[in-house]
């Protein structure tokens, strides 16, 4: 079975060959996007065009060489035969690298029962937060630290202690009969976030712990994951993972699924 796609070719090896001075290897100088394939790349929830635009925006902002977009499409179609989740990476010189993986085996349980999250230290902030680059060390470290607290996600914060996003997704909170989400300043402009904002019309404002009846995070792979517990230094906050307000998210996904 094809293990990955690289620079125009399907590869069956578990290894990739990169030059020892490749900036993608040395500095994490790549841009990437992760998408879930809902049957085909053309499905509305797959959001193929939006993921390509994310890559294009970063490539243009960094003045990198444009990739061969036909190769990216061909590689994604090839990998999607065996994998429902694709990670598409572009190097500064235009090379593309596409890997695939399965959905988490406990995804449905997380969606129904929720998870525990840990509030990360302030220094664990993402590099170039408006872009999704290969320098993803801080969120990765935050997630590894969360695991040591038996938490499944990490919440990243700014210098003022405001919650920004999770290590892998967009934060949402419910209070005063409205959905709230942090503003775009200092966070990744999530593709699914943009879609949901257009449908939910949330209040975009900074916020911290303890203010909400229910909180959750979303991303293109996991959809909606409620958060029932947050570990925040010496405090533990509890939220309702079965709050009826979550239904509006699920309704949005169902409408787009068919």
Q: Are residues 97 and 211 in the same domain?
A: no
Contact 172, 181 (CB under 8 A): yes
Contact 118, 151 (CB under 8 A): yes
Q: Are residues 112 and 96 in the same domain?
A: no
Q: Could you tell me the pLDDT band of residue 10, with boundaries at 50, 70 and 90?
A: very high
Residues paired with residue 153 on neighbouring β-strands, in sequence order? 117
Confidence at residue 257, expressed as pLDDT on a 0 to 100 scale: 85
- Calpha distance 134→136 (Å, rounded): 5
Mean pLDDT of 118-147: 95
CB-based burial label for 224 (10 Å; 0-12, 13-18, 19+): buried
- Calpha distance 247→215 (Å, rounded): 13
Q: Could you tell me the pLDDT band of residue 258, with boundaries at 50, 70 and 90?
A: confident
Q: Are residues 244 and 211 in the same domain?
A: yes
Confidence at residue 168, expressed as pLDDT on a 0 to 100 scale: 96
Confidence at residue 104, expressed as pLDDT on a 0 to 100 scale: 97
Q: Are residues 22 and 149 in the same domain?
A: no
Mean pLDDT of 26-34: 97
Tell me the per-residue pLDDT of 176-205, one tens digit each, with 9 for 90 and over: 999 999 999 989 999 999 999 999 999 999
Residues paired with residue 73 on neighbouring β-strands, in sequence order? none
What mean pLDDT, rounded, does the chain reach? 95
**Of 101, 136, 152, which residue sits at a domain end?**
101
Q: Are residues 94 and 119 in the same domain?
A: no
Mean pLDDT of 114-141: 95
Mean pLDDT of 235-249: 96
Q: Could you tell me the pLDDT band of residue 128, with boundaries at 50, 70 and 90?
A: very high
CATH code of residue 247: 3.20.10.10
**Judging by DSSP bridges, how do beta strands 178-181 and 203-204 pair with one another?**
parallel
- Calpha distance 55→48 (Å, rounded): 11
Model pTM score: 0.95
Contact 191, 220 (CB under 8 A): yes
Please give the backbone phi and psi of residue 28, each rounded to the nearest 5 degrees, phi first: 70, 30
Share of the chain above pLDDT 70, in %: 100
Mean pLDDT of 14-23: 96
Confidence at residue 45, expressed as pLDDT on a 0 to 100 scale: 95
Q: Are residues 161 and 178 in the same domain?
A: yes
Q: Are residues 135 and 9 in the same domain?
A: no
Contact 34, 86 (CB under 8 A): yes
Task: Tally the domains of the chain.
Answer: 2
Confidence at residue 31, expressed as pLDDT on a 0 to 100 scale: 98
pLDDT at residue 52 is higher than 90:
yes
Domain of 97 in residue numbering reads as: 4-101
């Amino acid at each position: 079975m094809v293990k990955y796609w690289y620079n125009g070719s399907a590869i069956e090896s578990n290894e990739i060959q990169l030059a020892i001075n490749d900036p993608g290897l040395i500095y994490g100088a790549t841009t990437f996007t992760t998408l879930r394939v809902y049957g085909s790349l053309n499905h509305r929830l797959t959001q193929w065009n939006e993921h390509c635009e994310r890559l294009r925006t970063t490539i243009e902002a960094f003045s990198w060489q444009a990739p061969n977009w036909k190769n990216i499409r061909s590689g994604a179609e090839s990998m999607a035969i065996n994998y429902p989740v694709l990670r598409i990476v572009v190097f500064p010189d235009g090379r593309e690298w596409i890997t695939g993986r399965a959905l988490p085996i406990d995804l449905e349980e997380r969606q129904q029962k929720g998870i525990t999250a840990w509030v990360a230290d302030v220094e664990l902030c993402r590099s170039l937060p408006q872009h999704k680059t290969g320098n993803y060390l801080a969120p990765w470290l935050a997630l590894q630290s969360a695991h040591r607290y038996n938490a499944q996600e990490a919440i990243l914060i700014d210098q003022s202690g405001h919650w920004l996003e999770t290590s892998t997704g967009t934060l949402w909170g419910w209070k005063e009969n409205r959905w709230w989400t942090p503003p775009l300043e200092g966070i990744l402009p999530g593709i699914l976030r943009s879609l949901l904002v257009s449908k939910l019309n949330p209040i975009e404002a900074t916020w911290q712990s303890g203010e909400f009846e229910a909180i959750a995070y979303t991303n293109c792979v996991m959809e909606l994951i409620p958060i029932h517990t947050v570990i925040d230094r010496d405090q533990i906050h509890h939220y309702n993972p079965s709050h009826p307000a979550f239904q509006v998210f699920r309704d949005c996904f169902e409408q787009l699924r068919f």
